[in-house]
Structure 1
Amino acid sequence: MELRKKMNDKISTIAAVADQLPGVVVIHNIQDNLKVEYMSPLGLRQIGVTLEELQQMGPEFHTRFFNPVESAEYVPKLIHGLLERNSEHEIISFFQQVRFHEQEDWMLHLSTIKIFMRDDAGRPLLTITIAMCIDPMHHLTAKVNRILEENTFLRQHYQRFSHLGPREREVLKLVALGKSSLEIAQDMFISEKTVNTHRRNIKVKLNAHTSFELSQYARAFDLI
C-alpha cells in the first residue's frame, strides 16, 4: 500500500501540469505487464477512452491504438533497452503510428521515453512517455513515412538479402545508381559477362524483376 501511495503521489505531480505540455503524457507500469497508469486528458480525448478503460486494457493498449506490426517490435526493444541501461538519465526517442478515435489514418508521432520511478528495491517501476503528433501537412511527415516503409521492407526481406555475397551487393548498389553493365564492369575491374551473371543471380535471390524492386533493396539496406 505504501508503494501504491508513492506511485499515486509521483503520478499526481505530472497530472497537475500534463495539459500544459506540448504533447501527450503516458505513464506505464513495467512490473505490471506494461499497464497504463496514467494518460493526460489530451491523449484520452484523442483515442476516445477514459483512464479507467485504459487501465483495464493492459498490453491490448499497444495493439489497439498503435500500428501492430511496429508495436510488436519496438515495445519489447524499448523496455529491454531501458532496463539494460537502467539509468535515470537515459532517454530513448522513436517514431510511432497512432490511430485516433473513429479515424482510419495513422497519425505519426515522435515520442520519448525514460524511467520515471523505481520501487523500494531500486528496480524500474514506471516509465514516462511524451508523444508529439507530427502535422501531416509538414514535409517531414512524408520523409519519416518513407523511412518507416524502408524499415518495414528491411524486416520483411532480410532473409533474401542475406543470401547476397559482397560482390553481388556491390553490383546491386551500382545497378540502383543507374549504371550500365559496361560501366559496372569498368568500375569493378571485371568482365561485362561477369556483371550480367551477377545481375541474373541477384534477381533470382531477391525475387526482383524490375529496377524499382532492386532500388528498394538498395535503399532499405543502405547501399545507396
Structure 2
Amino acid sequence: MEVSNERNSRVLSEKIGKFEELDRWLPGVKVIQRIEPAENLYLCQRGRDRYGLSQSFFKHLPMVEFRRQIFDAQDPHTCLIGTYSSHELYIRYSSADSPGEAELISVEIVKETEAGLGPLRVIQIFPSSLMGWVPAKTARIVSEMAFSKIHRRKFQQLTRRGREVLAFMVKGMSAEEIADRLFIGVNTVNTHKRRVREVLEIKSNYELLQYGLAFDLM
C-alpha cells in the first residue's frame, strides 16, 4: 500500500511538473482536481496570487468555498457556450463589481487510469485581458444568456398562451393587434398581459425587452 501511494505521488508530481511548464507559456489560472474522491490537487502560481491561497491551504479548501472563490458552473453569470469531446467551454461575464469584463473558462475531464489518479478535472481560466477580441455583440449575447439562466424559472411558469402574448408584447404590439393575431377578445388579451407582468415581475418596458432578447422572442 505504501509503495502504491509513493508511486501515485510520483506520477502526480510529474504531471504537475508538466503543467507548471505549460503555465510559463499560457496565461491564466490553472487548477487540477481529483473527481472521486473530490480533492483539490494543484493551483498554479497565478491562481495562488489571485485568490490569496497557499498550495497547502488550497488543497484543504472546501468545495463550497472553491465554487464561491474560483469556479462554479451554476453561477448565474457563468454560461456554457460549447462542449466537445471531454471539454466544456464557459464564458463568465462580469458581475456588478467588474462591469464589461469576461473570462473564458475551459473544463476538461481527464479519464486518467495510471496509478489510480483519475478521473481528473482540469480547469483553465483565461484572463479578461485576452478577451479584447470579444466584440460588444458577444458581450451582449453572454449577458442575455445570464439573464435567461437567472429568470428561466419565472418564464417557465407562464402558460402557452401567456408566452404567445409575451412574444407579441416584446414586439410592441397593441392589445387590439394581439387580439387579431390570436383570435381572442381585447379584454382577454389585457388579462393575459397583466398576468404575464405579474408572473415575470416586470416593472418596465426595458425588463420586458430583456425577456424578449433572452428567450428569443423578438
Matches within 5 A, 1:1-224: 1=5, 2-35=7-40, 37-59=41-63, 60-66=65-71, 70=75, 89-96=85-92, 105=98, 108-116=102-110, 118-120=112-114, 124-135=118-129, 138=132, 140=134, 146-147=140-141, 149-224=143-218
Q: For the residues of structure 2 that align with 1:21 and 1:173, how far apart are their CA atoms?
A: 45
**Residues 86 and 110 in structure 2, CA contact (< 8 A), matched pair in contact too:** no
Shift of 1:93: 0.5
Mark the runs of 5 or more structure 2 residues left unpaired by the alignment.
none
**Residues 27 and 126 in structure 1, CA contact (< 8 A), matched pair in contact too:** yes
Mark the runs of 5 or more structure 1 residues left unpaired by the alignment.
none
Change beyond 3 A, Cα 1:17–1:153: closer
Change beyond 3 A, Cα 1:117–1:194: closer
Deviations 1:74-94 (CA, angstroms, capped at 9, x unpaired): 8xx9xxxx9xxxx9x421101
Change beyond 3 A, Cα 1:42–1:111: same
**Residues 118 and 125 in structure 1, CA contact (< 8 A), matched pair in contact too:** yes
Deviations 1:7-49 (CA, angstroms, capped at 9, x unpaired): 22222222123211133322112124241x2222233233333
Q: For the residues of structure 2 that align with 1:14 and 1:219, how far apart are their CA atoms?
A: 41
Q: For the residues of structure 1 that align with 2:108 and 2:72, how far apart are their CA atoms?
A: 21
Change beyond 3 A, Cα 1:141–1:135: farther
| TM-score normalised according to structure 2 size | 0.73
Change beyond 3 A, Cα 1:156–1:129: closer
Q: Percent of counterpart pairs with the same letter?
A: 28
Shift of 1:219: 2.8
Change beyond 3 A, Cα 1:119–1:68: closer
Change beyond 3 A, Cα 1:123–1:177: farther
Change beyond 3 A, Cα 1:54–1:145: farther
Q: For the residues of structure 2 that align with 1:126 and 1:52, how far apart are their CA atoms?
A: 19
Change beyond 3 A, Cα 1:65–1:195: same
State the aligned residue count: 207
Q: Secondary structure at the match of 2:86?
A: coil
